[in-house]
């Protein structure tokens, strides 16, 4: 079995490629972003870590957060480094 990753920006055709692979080759698909979004919901592991480590002003809601939270970028960079260990 081969494992491939499909990456690209918004609207670049990732879903179309995935659908093609599923339909044409019966390839199993794993959409990591769906899992990531689920983990970022209130009460979940990632949500707690996001809030605890680098959100200064909070009512965190996915898809809207860019508008009204202040991010402690220094803490975010530290968390990235720690996760990379």
User: Which of 75, 55, 76 has the alpha carbon at shortest distance from 65?
Assistant: 55
- The residue extents of the domains of the chain are 1-30, 36-83
Q: Which two tokens stand for residue 10?
A: 């918004």
- Distance between start and end Cα atoms, the chain: 28
How high does pLDDT run on average in the chain? 77
- Tens digit of pLDDT for each residue in 42-59? 888 787 777 777 665 555
Structural contact between residues 72 and 55, judged by C-beta atoms closer than 8 angstroms: yes
**pLDDT number for residue 49:** 79
């Amino acid at each position: 079995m081969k494992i491939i990753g499909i990456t690209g920006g918004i609207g670049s055709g990732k879903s179309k490629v995935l659908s093609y692979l599923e339909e044409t080759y019966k390839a199993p698909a794993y959409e990591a972003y769906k899992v990531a979004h689920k983990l970022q919901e209130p009460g979940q592991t990632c949500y707690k870590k996001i809030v605890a480590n680098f959100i200064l002003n909070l009512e965190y809601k996915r898809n809207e957060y860019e508008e009204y939270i202040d991010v402690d970028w220094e803490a975010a960079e530290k968390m990235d480094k720690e996760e990379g260990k």
